[in-house]
Amino acid sequence: MINFNYETDFALKDEDALSKWIVDCIRTEEYSLEEINYIFCDDEYLYKLNIEFLNHDTLTDIISFDYSVGKTIQGDIFISVERVKENATDFKVSFFEELHRVIIHGVLHYCGYKDKTPEDALLMREKENFYLKRLA
């Protein structure tokens, strides 16, 4: 089950289509879905989580809490809509392209992909691009 929650003045346009896309990604990666909760919020909300749970004194676009067991995915993904908007401008892409990238980025972490090394980040970006094309 995919749940979309809003802690800021924002709402997705087509939750059903996005849910199907996310589930397709999970199945393609040979995982199963228990539950993912997406929480869309502002910078302040996500900053507080970053300090409290990760001890990071920085703004970020996404924080994911992974409760998965084996190949069954479960977790909470917090996304700062403000940060996504700013990043879209910085990267010269549409807001929705950047938002979809961040949405699937969290899922890919649950599927075992990392992004701390240059090699891992490159593979993560390739996977993001692969799934973004499947959404279009």
Binding-site sequence positions for Zn(2+): 105, 109, 115
| Look-up of token digits 């992004």 | 115
**What's the start-to-end Cα distance of the chain, in Å?**
22
Residue 63 per-residue DSSP state: E
Q: How far apart are CA 76 and CA 84, in angstroms?
A: 17
Measure the CA angle with vertex 134, ends 76 and 72; round to 5°: 35
Residue list, annotated binding site: 105, 109, 115
Closest CA to 103 of 33, 4, 1: 4
Cβ atoms of 128 and 101 within 8 Å: the answer is yes
Q: How far apart are CA 63 and CA 53, in angstroms?
A: 10
